[in-house]
Structure 1
């Protein structure tokens, strides 16, 4: 089983299109097992990185006890591993549902199982590089490219439709985050102006 997972991992990295074609009849259970393994690896590596960064951060905290700092770093790493693993599963479920809505709108009729499989296989670069600071950005872009390829092959739709199905939810998310950020900054700015005004009045 381990060899099969490693082989799948290598095939997705080296020959993704052919691998996706060969995965059309693969069961969702097999794909989900693959997902659990690669996300477990990713979560552990991310947890170790978080622990290292927190350890470095505590070095600059005056009066920090060495034993307490070590214990806190370990707890931070463990929490990061558990949270990352659980959050990845939740993100897969919700992300696949949202993605499938746009896949269906754009002509994908092979079922949500194929969309979930596409989401799972496209996570492979994240497991490989996503835990590395800064380089993880490349892994995210790579994963989006693989997601579009996987949607195209598993749903058997055109490249343009597959790309749109992947990009539209991303664009909507970016817009929503931007609107939320602008709204937050507006509220903060208004609050600061109100406080300054009240201060001047009382003075």
Structure 2
């Protein structure tokens, strides 16, 4: 029997191992329906925050004597919020499936043989902390870390792997892209003429000592 949305939210936040055990028979469709519900809540919260920010800007422009600009901003706020809501749904859904396929490569290499569907379920259910708490400052960082923990638990339970192998798969899936991005950024800086901060480089026009008699 498929758990309710509320039961899964509570379970994946506080007892992921037990909840993954109870969700082994869930289809990918069941997981996706759950994902869409909590993603819609997350996107709606962000959209409201965008609308509020625009309303504040509109009020500021009105106080500065720019009523037309304030009116335009007030109209654009809800429209931008709607666009933001739709884009969040599309981009997050796409990124979750790409992340799931990428993670499955490493799951397979460490011995996971229960199919890509189980990996996708682990990633989808693992998004629970980020989608429910990720919009809150500071707490969002904790939620992101807990998301990785829940994903590792899901990989372990759904693929019947050891804890070490499941953690290794998740760590490799996160660390390798991060290392590549850092390397690309470092290469970009190295190829920039004079570097990003030319005044700080050797021989550059950095700060000089005191001058005496015009020298």
With the shorter chain as reference, the TM-score category is 0.7 to 0.9
Greater relative contact order structure (CA < 8 Å, 6+ sep): 1
* Deviation for aligned residue 1:123: 0.6
Counterpart residue number, 1:74 = 78
For structure 2, the 5+ residue unaligned runs are 199-215
TM-score, structure 2 normalization? 0.80
**Structure whose residues are more often helix by fraction:** 1
Following superposition of structure 1 onto structure 2, how do residues 43-192 of structure 1 map, counting pairs within 5 Å? Answer: 43-56=43-56, 65-190=69-194
CA distance in 2, matches of 1:158, 1:14: 21
Residues 187/160 of structure 1: CA separation in 2 closer, same or farther (3 Å cut): same
- C-alpha offsets along residues 145-187 of structure 1, whole Å, 9 cap, x if unaligned? 1000111011010111111100112111211221232233344
Q: State the secondary structure of the residue aligned to 1:120.
A: helix
Cα RMSD over matched residues?
A: 2.2
Q: State the secondary structure of the residue aligned to 2:4.
A: helix
For structure 1, the 5+ residue unaligned runs are 194-203
Q: State the secondary structure of the residue aligned to 2:137.
A: coil
Stretch deviating more after TM superposition (108-117 or 71-80): 71-80
Residues 1:15 and 2:15 are matched in the alignment: yes
1:49–1:131 Cα contact (<8 Å) kept: no
